Amino acid sequence: MKILVTGANGQLGTELVHQLERIDISLFSYTKNNLDITDFKRVQKIVREIHPDIIINAAAFTNVDRAETEKELAFSINSIGQRNLAVAAEEIDARICYISTDYVFDGNAVEPYKEYSLVNPLGTYGYTKYAGEQLTQSLNSKYYIVRTAWVYGEFGNNFVKTMLKLATEKDEIGVVHDQIGSPTYAVDLAEFIIELVQTNKYGIYHCTNSGSCSWYEFAKAIFEEADIDINVIPLTSDQFPRPAKRPNYSVLNNMALQVNGFSTRRHWREALQSFIIKNN
């Protein structure tokens, strides 16, 4: 089996490559430096040459705030780049996996979003990821769309690493308490994706660690697990304005994962403990 991974040096992409290297497959990993997914001719050439069975697109423009001022770049990577891969995959009858986001929802729900709940992105990032979903569904017959949220891990920048770094510089940190979601450990997410793409159970999936919390509660848990004594102040989103509006409630219901026979991911607090222990 041949698996091609794009965005292989990103937070999730690096973890995917790390885990895929341990199993009996032929792995082809590309970073943005050696494969610009917005270049259709280059994408098509590589896909035709390798002829992978599976393509996992972990390449993405993920800077939510910068997307508001660099709309075309975000769209070209998150939407057009995915279109290019979906078309190239369909041409050789390959499966394709697209990593999407909780930001396709507006956050007005009062219960976790199911895979087929109505979407309504609040900003450019969510809009471009949803466009990528739509292009995938319309251009490829063997697709997996995996929406996730609040991802952190060993590689790249993320909220957990930021909190731990700030704790070395400050005695007090303010964190918003009115945005609710589900933290997701990249290790657990990658494990699911690798299991999923080796099946023919195509469709849309939500995958996060179990449970939910606010960013404030997440920060408190990080410091507790790391045994760091620091004062964490709850803030409202209005007190911490950002260029891009975030959904206030973006907890994802992992229903498709369960009904298709996959194991639910462990509780977010247990996953956080594993991360802290591994990185101490």
Please write the tens of the pLDDT for every residue from 254-263.
999 999 999 9
Q: Six-digit token pair at 107?
A: 């956050």
Domain 2-158+182-210+251-267: which CATH number of 3.40.1710.10, 3.90.1150.150, 3.30.70.1450, 3.40.50.720:
3.40.50.720
Q: Six-digit token pair at 186?
A: 């990249």
> Which helix (H) or strand (E) segment is 218 a member of?
helix 215-225
Quick one: DSSP state of residue 157? -
Residue 280 above 80 pLDDT?
no
Query: What is the Cα–Cα distance from 70 to 76, expressed in whole angstroms?
Result: 10
Considering 125, 143, 152, 249, which one is annotated as catalytic? 125
Angle at 183 between CA 64 and CA 4, to 5 degrees: 70
Inter-residue contact 10 to 81 (CB < 8 Å): no
pLDDT in tens, 219-258: 999 999 999 999 999 999 888 788 888 999 999 999 999 9
Query: What is the Cα–Cα distance from 261 to 86, expressed in whole angstroms?
Result: 26
Place of tokens 């569904």: 137
- State the CB neighbour count (10 A cutoff) for residue 157: 11
Place of tokens 């299991």: 195
Evaluate if pTM is beyond 0.85: yes
- Of how many residues is the chain composed? 280
Q: In this structure, are strands 184-185 and 151-152 parallel, antiparallel, or unpaired? A: parallel
Query: What is the Cα–Cα distance from 144 to 197, expressed in whole angstroms?
Result: 7
User: What DSSP line would sit under 226-251, residue for residue?
Assistant: TT---EEEEE-GGGS--SSPPPSB-P
Query: What is the Cα–Cα distance from 97 to 6, expressed in whole angstroms?
Result: 11
From residue 63, give the alpha-carbon distance in Å to each of 69, 159, 260.
Answer: 11, 13, 32
pLDDT (average), residues 22-44: 96
The residue type of 88 is A
For 74-100, the three-class secondary structure string (H helix, E strand, C coil) is: HHHHHHHHHHHHHHHHHHCCCEEEEEE
- State the CB neighbour count (10 A cutoff) for residue 34: 12
pLDDT in tens, 92-119: 999 999 999 999 999 999 999 999 999 9
pLDDT in tens, 159-212: 999 999 999 999 899 999 999 999 999 999 999 999 999 999 999 999 999 999
Quick one: DSSP state of residue 69? T
Percent residues over pLDDT 70 in the chain? 100
Please, what is the end-to-end C-alpha distance for the chain in angstroms?
Answer: 36
- Catalytic-residue membership of 216: no
Inter-residue contact 3 to 47 (CB < 8 Å): no
The domains of the chain are located at: 2-158+182-210+251-267
Query: What is the Cα–Cα distance from 240 to 254, expressed in whole angstroms?
Result: 30
Provide the CB-side half-sphere exposure for 10 (13 A, CA): 21
Would the CA dihedral through 232, 253, 106, 139 be positive or negative?
A: positive
